[in-house]
Structure 1
Amino acid sequence: VEVLAQIHEELESCPTQERSDLYLLQFQVFRGLGEGKLLQRSLHSAWQRASSVHEKLIFGTWLKYEKQGEEVISDLLASCGKCSQEFELLDIASEIPAKDVGIASTSDSDLTEDSSLVFFQVEGDTIACARKKIASLSSPFNSMLNGNFTESRLEIIDMSKNGISAMAMREISKFSQIGHLGDLPPDDVLEILIFANMFCCERLKDACDRKLTSFVSSRQDAIDLMECALEENSPVLATSCLQRFLHELPECLEDKQVVKIFSNVSKHHRSIMAGHASFSLYCLLCEVAMNTDPRSDTTADLLERLVELATNNRQKQLAFHQLGCVRLLRKEYNEAERNFVAALEAGHVYSAAGLARLDFLRGDMVLAYEKMSSVISSYTPLGWMYQE
């Protein structure tokens, strides 16, 4: 009751972007109490007050997961056009605003009207481009074509060593004229994306990022494209791939390729994939993994990542205690002890029960009893302390 009251007070005054985190904490309290309807209400509040597309995606998925078994009701609602919004797939490209770089679009005919042309040689082909339009794509291009570089005085520039094909260079030239990409296969868009990153063409990169989302139609598509999305710093594509994974929970956590992505992704790449909602994402993944098989390597690996993501005491309490419980189930008693100690130091009093259980399992029943007695004398006595 004390924790719930504190959460309620903080919700009244906290910044908008922190509300979802508080509703997540509220959810965890209701989870411990076994209050199914109340924890769903917390998730729905977190979804309603999401401050980013990542939070909206994560809490919408989580609510859908918690409502498993209620599909019949959802189907009935869908049949009369009243399907819950939180269950719908998001149009990620429209949810993430495009970067405004202030470059105007023009028509194809402007190529012939521009008095200054530059020719790029690629694979034996020569591609004519409007110098002014290509220069406007990025500062590096502008410096190369209008600065003190040798290329600024050349009409023909060799681009053969920049990893770009003649076809892709033509598409880049078109993009510089009309401001959007044509209908291209994914491999061609990926090639242009890599080139755009190399030459810091932010508007071209953003167009490629959004274009690639249309190719994420299956889990395997998402697996194949996620690596590129992370390496090329493409948040729209990465979020679209994440949505595909979450849409297929819990089954996708049985896919070794998906688990490898979630387990091995770096801190920087996590921020590309999930923005500032990484802790919430891994809370969801750990919840699903623990419900599926709390003793599995996947569950332990994901909880290790959750511990890494914990930044404040509340997050550390949750992450260390859950990892301690899993280590206990896996009979990894030394690791479990370290996790319970860390959770207790962060302020999670109930983790003392985990330490007492470890002593009991090791055969030291007197020490286990003394630890729980110490908890009762050191803190406000509560029912669970006597139960333990």
Structure 2
Amino acid sequence: MTNNFLTTIRSLKLIEGCKAAQIYAFNAAGAAAGGASTSGNGDGGGKLLPPPQPRSLSVRSASLCYPHAPSTSGAFVADSPLPCGLPVAAALEPALDACLRPVDHVKALAASFRRMSLAEAEGDDLCDVFLEQHALFHALGDARLLRRALRAARVHATDPHRRVVLAAWLRYERREDEFDPMPPPLAPCTPTTPLHECPRAAVFAGESPGVDPICPCRRPPPPPPTPPSSRFRRNTSSIDQMVEEDGDVETNDLWFIIGEEEVACERSCIAALSKPLNTLLYGGFAEAQRDRIDFTRDGITPCGMRAVSAYSRHGRLDDFSTDTILELLAFSNKFCCEGLKSACDNKLATMVSGVEDALSLVDLGLEEAAHLLVAACLQAFLRELPKSLSNPDVARLLCSPDGRERLDIAGNASFALYYFLSSVAMEEDIRSNTSVMLLERLCECAEQPWQKQLALHQLGCVMLERGEFKDAQGWFEDAIAEGHMYSLAGVARSKFKRGHKYSAYKMMNSIMGDYEPAGWMYQERSLYCVGKEKMADLQIATELDPTLSYPYKYRAVAFLEEDMVESSVAEISKVLGFKLVTDCLELRAWFYLALEEYEAAVRDIRAILTLDPSYMMFHGKMHGEQLIEILRGYVQQWDMADCWMQLYDRWSEVDDIGSLAVVQQMLTREPGNSSLRFRQSLLLLRHIKLSEGCDA
């Protein structure tokens, strides 16, 4: 039960559930320092730090700085309670969803279910059907549905490649890379490791769909093999000694000459390795009449040929070195020895224990088309994400067109692979070249309509974030041509950024006339109008989809510009009542600073730091901890006893944000307190489940 609870906590992607674009424009208005309210909490000590440099957009950390925002109109005042003035409504802008968003979500999910039922009835592959469901669930924002779809896809993956990709994806969603120390990526499973994520089961399981109820890492060791008959018995510590023993028996009727050495073999055993060898030794060739054959120019060493002879007699690869097995792999490809190749492939795949081993073997695996070896190497790279993408050798293989072609030849390139890789890259830095290259590879692998829609739309979103508006418009138009109507919002946004505001407005009008209106349509059209028409569109957007946070933010800042700060707090608190979003908490903290309610502001800032410890306030100009230090002189200081009393009061009042703030302050003093960590996890779990329920 404990394992299920912890797995649920890890899989919820708390930052993902609470992420949103930070506030990014300000005016010069300030507020004087004043008294304190009784509704907040205190502050921990610390040295005043210089303002950090603005961070680049990182979806995973949720510290987002909008790249095309207008510059700050006021000077940065580091020791002021309002160091950057106040936000401006005109600079707010909702982010486009970089996922599939059908116009009619219910209809799309129903069609996906029908395809799943049909594929199940006909015995077709279900893995891609569940991946489609995963893509559709993204717009709902429910991490449990996303993980359920990934698990179902993993269960129905019949080939090692997709099993490796989906097992690594499931592991990544649990955020094991954030543990300190991080568990070894390819280590044997522990009792708490989910069965779907076992690295050995992913590579070495059979072809039938489903998951073996017993993990290979936990199976009892196999019984010792039956010893060979006396004429084949050997000392396994030395190939040479084995061959010497076998070389005296009467069955040695064939010798291969390699340089100045002769390797004794049994003709029938060598011929049984493949049809070409059988034809060579028993067909119409001159070699069929000879008992000595020159293999000097066939690219194999005497040691390698002795290993071939040993395998032909016993059918096993025991203690051969890596170099010898690689020789056998090349020999098996040259003479079409499928059994020998499969044995070498399996043996080499078991030798991959990390990224270094994978880098040393992957090129050889690709050259020899060793499917399992390449899958094992790929697994090592995927289980080290996102860190492995910063390795230039790994990035060259995974991101380049040539790398994709080589993986495809070895049977290890797929839409699932680049769907996973591009998702990780976009979480790390949506504007990076890595994101662009991986999405281009995703487009190359897309075959089904939904795959093309997703890849093209995501490329448009990335180009929009990079400020390449003309390219973004082109990708969005390609996505529309494939049937993804939500990409019309991307075309409109791109035109707006290029100065064609009226054209963008007409485009949104047209989609609202052709389809049943949805909240996102009115929200997008509100960007291209002003005054009462804009407020009316935002109001309709809220009525159609109350979970959209942008209308609340815009109305709250508009109230602030009209000096109705209490109304601003009330408006932004509506969304925080059902959806814990970092930028909404930042806005409310800003409003509290304007009202000089510093303890309430500190409470919201501490709640932000609980969700994202690296969050940068005020257009990325100030870390949250630094702002708390500035406000230290304006708020009441609490010791640990006071904190426990405050936590009891807020817990009793079901004040989750206040409870998170108090726990965050206590953890700055006692970071190893497991009781506080457990309370924090309960609060986060409750709020994320509430947010997902509202999104769904």
Report the TM-score when normalising by structure 1: 0.89
Higher relative contact order (CA 8 A, sep 6+): 2
| Residue correspondence of structure 1 range 172-187 to structure 2 within 5 A | 172-187=308-323
Distance 1:293 1:261, change over 3 A: same
Q: Could you give the per-residue CA deviations for residues 54-97 of structure 1, whole angstroms, max 9, x where no partner exists? A: 3333222222222227979x99xx99934321232224563156
> How far apart are the structure 1 equivalents of 2:376 and 2:355?
11
Distance 1:94 1:44, change over 3 A: closer
Mean Cα displacement is larger for which, 51-60 or 302-311?
Answer: 51-60
Q: Could you give the per-residue CA deviations for residues 134-188 of structure 1, whole angstroms, max 9, x where no partner exists? A: 1111122111111111111222111010111011111101111011123122112
Tell me the equivalent position of 1:163: 299
1:38 and 2:170 aligned: no
Tell me the equivalent position of 1:371: 507
Tell me the equivalent position of 1:308: 444
> How far apart are the structure 1 equivalents of 2:481 and 2:467?
22
| Post-superposition offset of 1:292 | 0.5
> How far apart are the structure 1 equivalents of 2:363 and 2:202?
18
| Post-superposition offset of 1:17 | 4.4
Tell me the equivalent position of 1:270: 408
Structure 2 residue identity aligned to 1:13: L
Structure 2 SS opposite 1:126: strand
Tell me the equivalent position of 2:485: 349
Tell me the equivalent position of 1:55: 162
Tell me the equivalent position of 2:467: 331
Tell me the equivalent position of 2:64: none
Distance 1:108 1:213, change over 3 A: farther
Tell me the equivalent position of 2:112: 7
| Post-superposition offset of 1:257 | 0.9
Mean Cα displacement is larger for which, 56-65 or 105-114?
Answer: 105-114
Tell me the equivalent position of 2:393: 257
Distance 1:268 1:254, change over 3 A: closer
> How far apart are the structure 2 equivalents of 1:113 and 1:178?
15
Does the Cα contact within 8 Å between 2:398 and 2:404 map onto a contact in 1?
no
Tell me the equivalent position of 1:319: 455
Structure 2 SS opposite 1:369: helix
> How far apart are the structure 2 equivalents of 1:166 and 1:10?
56
Q: Percent identity?
A: 38
Q: Could you give the per-residue CA deviations for residues 96-148 of structure 1, whole angstroms, max 9, x where no partner exists? A: 56xxxxxxx97583666655611111121011111111111112211111111
| Post-superposition offset of 1:202 | 1.2
1:109 and 2:198 aligned: no
Decide which structure has the larger Cα Rg and report it.
Answer: 2
Does the Cα contact within 8 Å between 2:172 and 2:383 map onto a contact in 1?
no
Q: Could you give the per-residue CA deviations for residues 275-296 of structure 1, whole angstroms, max 9, x where no partner exists? A: 7xx1111101010000001111
Matching residue within 16, 25, 36 for 2:132: 25
| Residue correspondence of structure 1 range 201-280 to structure 2 within 5 A | 201-263=337-399, 264-267=402-405, 269-270=407-408, 272-274=410-412, 278-280=414-416
Does the Cα contact within 8 Å between 1:106 and 1:179 map onto a contact in 2?
no
| Residue correspondence of structure 1 range 118-197 to structure 2 within 5 A | 118-197=254-333
Q: Could you give the per-residue CA deviations for residues 296-328 of structure 1, whole angstroms, max 9, x where no partner exists? A: 111111100000111121111001000111122
> How far apart are the structure 1 equivalents of 2:190 and 2:391?
35
Higher helix share: 1
Distance 1:8 1:50, change over 3 A: same
Does the Cα contact within 8 Å between 1:108 and 1:178 map onto a contact in 2?
no
Does the Cα contact within 8 Å between 1:44 and 1:63 map onto a contact in 2?
yes
| Post-superposition offset of 1:266 | 4.1
> How far apart are the structure 1 equivalents of 2:386 and 2:292?
55
Tell me the equivalent position of 1:385: 521
Matching residue within 186, 189, 200 for 1:90: 200
Mean Cα displacement is larger for which, 234-243 or 115-124?
Answer: 115-124
Structure 2 SS opposite 1:380: coil
Structure 2 residue identity aligned to 1:204: L
Does the Cα contact within 8 Å between 2:160 and 2:372 map onto a contact in 1?
no
Distance 1:93 1:386, change over 3 A: closer
Distance 1:239 1:17, change over 3 A: farther
| Post-superposition offset of 1:210 | 1.0
> How far apart are the structure 2 equivalents of 1:108 and 1:365?
88
> How far apart are the structure 2 equivalents of 1:137 and 1:150?
19
Structure 2 SS opposite 1:347: coil
> How far apart are the structure 1 equivalents of 2:189 and 2:358?
29
> How far apart are the structure 2 equivalents of 1:367 and 1:230?
50
RMSD: 2.6
The total of aligned residue pairs comes to 376
> How far apart are the structure 2 equivalents of 1:191 and 1:115?
25
> How far apart are the structure 1 equivalents of 2:412 and 2:479?
25
> How far apart are the structure 2 equivalents of 1:108 and 1:369?
87
Structure 2 residue identity aligned to 1:175: Y
| Post-superposition offset of 1:49 | 3.0
Does the Cα contact within 8 Å between 1:31 and 1:39 map onto a contact in 2?
yes
> How far apart are the structure 2 equivalents of 1:80 and 1:293?
32
Structure 1 SS opposite 2:483: coil
Does the Cα contact within 8 Å between 1:209 and 1:235 map onto a contact in 2?
yes
| Post-superposition offset of 1:268 | 6.2
> How far apart are the structure 1 equivalents of 2:344 and 2:262?
24
> How far apart are the structure 1 equivalents of 2:343 and 2:324?
13
Distance 1:92 1:84, change over 3 A: closer
| Post-superposition offset of 1:372 | 1.0
> How far apart are the structure 1 equivalents of 2:293 and 2:230?
22
Structure 1 residue identity aligned to 2:111: Q
Does the Cα contact within 8 Å between 1:117 and 1:130 map onto a contact in 2?
yes
Does the Cα contact within 8 Å between 2:127 and 2:157 map onto a contact in 1?
yes
Distance 1:113 1:281, change over 3 A: same
Structure 2 SS opposite 1:220: helix
> How far apart are the structure 1 equivalents of 2:328 and 2:162?
30
